[in-house]
Amino acid sequence: MRYALWVAVLMTTALPLPAETIRIEADRDATLIEDREGELANGSGPFFFAGRTSQAEGSIRRALLRFDVAGSLPEGAVIEKAALILFAAPGNTAPRLLSLHRVLSDWSEGPSFASGGGGAPSLEGDATWIHTSFDTDQWRRPGADFIEPPSASLEVAGTGAFTWETPRLRADVQLWAAAPRRNFGWALLGDETMPQSSKSFASREHGSADLRPVLEITFREPAHPPGE
């Protein structure tokens, strides 16, 4: 009887815990406006931008976005799936490839506000083309410090929700869950080879909560919590 009970308990504790799925909103996002002096930014506008505008100079736009992964998950969580969902706003509907790159330096969002891709004068704390935080701390290279190989790439055409989901993106999220001090989010890069390629996406400040950036994570809690 005792042996049968012991086997039953052992089998029960060995069963994997069920997977859970959560959706979290970005806690920072911003657009980097190409400008050699870092005098333009867009930290709090309703959209962020990636690609190139029609300007002859200073036309590149790159977006930054970050999610509080570790603060949203139990310690030791094992990430099974991760997907970034962005809502492409009306505008340039031509198909363009957009890629996500893991950022390597911390940055701040800042209060500058622009509804379009032209940006606004940089304010204290803005991330700019040359600043991680205007106007004191700088990127090691203009346009943000990030890993060159993309974590995910996706062709975006038209308007609506688009989802980036790859094993490398999942690995980024797993890293941030285990090492929150290394979580500086992603840089979103568009087609920077052609003018008028810029895409706009609803930011975390957008008036409609349903359109804001979302990171969807499917995870399992550890069978044995850390420290046991």
Q: What is the pLDDT of residues 153-193, one digit of tens each?
A: 999 999 999 999 999 999 999 999 999 999 999 999 999 99
Cβ pair 197, 51 in contact under 8 A: yes
pLDDT value, residue 8: 45
Q: Looking at the DSSP assignment, which residues form a beta bridge with residue 218?
A: 21, 81
Give the percent of the chain with pLDDT over 90: 87
Q: What domains lie within the chain, and their CATH numbers?
A: 17-220 (2.60.120)
| Cα→Cα distances 224→149, 168, 171, 197, 228, Å | 35, 26, 21, 49, 6
Say whether pLDDT at 5 is over 50: no
User: How far apart are alpha carbons 151 and 104 in whole angstroms?
Assistant: 13
Write down the mean pLDDT value for the chain. Answer: 92
Q: Which of 7-21, 71-85, 147-161 has the lowest mean pLDDT?
A: 7-21
Query: What global pTM score does this model have?
Result: 0.91
The tens digit of pLDDT for each residue in 96-150 reads 999 999 999 999 999 999 999 999 999 999 999 999 999 999 999 999 999 999 9
Instruction: Report the pLDDT averaged over residues 31-50.
Output: 98
Instruction: Report the pLDDT averaged over residues 27-38.
Output: 98
Name the band, by pLDDT with cuts 50, 70 and 90, for residue 6.
very low
Say whether pLDDT at 226 is over 70: no
User: Which letter does DSSP use for residue 223 in this model?
Assistant: S
Say whether pLDDT at 57 is over 60: yes
pLDDT value, residue 7: 39
User: How far apart are alpha carbons 39 and 167 in whole angstroms?
Assistant: 37
User: How far apart are alpha carbons 201 and 205 in whole angstroms?
Assistant: 11
Beta strand 152-156 with 20-25 is: unpaired
Burial of residue 173 (number of CB atoms within 10 Å: 0-12, 13-18, 19+): buried
Token pair belonging to 55: 């300007």
Say whether pLDDT at 224 is over 90: no
User: Which letter does DSSP use for residue 48 in this model?
Assistant: E
